[in-house]
Each structure stands twice: as structure tokens, then as C-alpha cells.
Structure 1
Amino acid sequence: MGVAEAVILLLHPLLSLVVIYWMYNQYSHRKNRRELRGQEAKDSRESHERVGDTLYRSALAVIAIGFFVNFSVGWIGGEGYLSVVPSALHGWFGVVGIVVLTITVRKGRLVKKQRESGQKFALELQRHGRASDVMMVLIVLHAFLGFIYLFKLLVK
């Protein structure tokens, strides 16, 4: 494996580590928000909402890079266009993960909309939190499977 191939192969995992760390910090808002009051709570919530939107776009970019890397490795290996489809459990967990992340973001936006319009939002806030719990479990599983998959690709 050449240097260029190794760099392309490591692009997705390295960027993923940054996004995972960022997601963990975003997830910690759930615990920290209970201790905040007044303007401090409002500022923290606004930051959480703003960072959440940016984080979602960043996660989509990292996933796109993952698909590109998978396609590149498959294309070089002679798989052709079928290499766009995930061929390992890691890839399928990524697809499930982006669906859960999208649900989490949508629930968060719905909470914001309901809160700003004066509607009850506790149920949607709970759903947003539960979706983020599922997201964190998926992140751990996906990262572990990715670590194993990376070794498989590096050994080729």
C-alpha cells in the first residue's frame, strides 16, 4: 500500500475521531443543563442548538468521505461501482447511525420550534434525549467495528 492510499484510507477514521469527540461534548449538555439557571441556561441551550447544526453537517461530511474512501478502496480492488454499497458491518452501522443522528437533530429542532411557539415540548425533549442515548451507543459500536475494519484494510 502506497502513501497516498494510506492517507486516503486514514482520512475517514481521523476526521471521525474529531467528530466523535465533538459529539461527546455535545452529549454532555444533557447532564450539564440541569445545573444551569437563568441566562446561563439560555446561553448554553443556544450554544447547544448552534453546535448541533454544525456538528450534523460535519458528520454528514465525514460520512461522505467514508463512502468516498470505501469506493476508492473498492475501485482500486476491482469491485467497480458496487463498492459504493457498504460491504462490512461497520458501513451498515454508519448508515443506521446517520439515520439516528438525523432523527436526533429533527427532534432537537422540533423542541426548539415548540418551545419558541409556547407549546409543550417536554415529550419531544425526552425523545431527543433518548435518540442521543441511542446515538452514543451506536458511536461506540461503529468506532469499534471501524477499528477492526481498518486493520482488515491495512493488512490487504
Structure 2
Amino acid sequence: MISLELINENNLAAPDSAQFQIWLNQVAEKLNITGEICIKIVDETESHDLNHSYRGIAKPTNVLSFPAEIPDFVESTHLGDLAICAPVVIRESVDQNKPAVNHWAHMSIHGTLHLLGYDHIEDVDAEEMETLEIELLKALGMVDPYH
């Protein structure tokens, strides 16, 4: 099981912690992992600033993943933090003609997989990550987000 801390200081339109917990539990069960994740729901300004600071990209993005960087000698189950931009996720769900809840689930799972070391820079890695995302979302009754 993955424990969740959800932060939504500005009360942006987003799923509640119970919904995020369902999605995180799906990842935990499939990959047999435990740990803790903090998800912060952010606006476009904060997403822009984080994306610029950490990735050098001067625009907001849907989800940013910050894996925990904890020294080996420190015992911790913290997997990392996600910053999910509510306005971008909502806009993308409209643009992609998919239910907002499905896109929130996808971004949560996508970000969590990044925390666990999955990536999509190389084609072979992207295929592995996307296949896993599709399986996880299908188990939740959601369609393939890539088609």
C-alpha cells in the first residue's frame, strides 16, 4: 500500500484523497510496493515555476515527479512527491475528449511510476511504461489513454 498526503492549499478542482488513494493502491498492488507519496495540487503559476526550475522548461505541465533522495543510511519509506497542475489536467482532458477523472488517474499513475524509476525517454522504456499505465488504468475500468 502507498500512503498518501494530499495538499490542495488553493482548493483547486481536483479529486479527493480517497480517489487518489484508489489509484495509488492500484500501482502498489500491481508492483508489490509500499511507501509514502505526497501529492500537491498546483496552479499554472506554480507548475510553470517548478517546471522551469527543475527541468528548464518555461511553461506549466500536467505532472511533475520528484523522487525521494534519501541517503542509504536513513530508513525511510518516502517514495517522493508529485505536483499535479489542476488547470492543465482539466484542459488536457477537454482537448483529448476524455473524462477528467480518467486523466487525473492517468497523471497520478504516470507520476507515481516516475517516482519508482520508470521513464519514457528511450522508445523501449516508453513502451514498457505506457504498457504498464494501460494495464493499471484498464484494471480501474478506464480506457487506453494513448489511443
TM-score range, shorter chain: under 0.3
Greater strand proportion: 2
Greater helix proportion: 1
TM-score by length of 2: 0.24
TM-score by length of 1: 0.23
Larger radius of gyration: 1
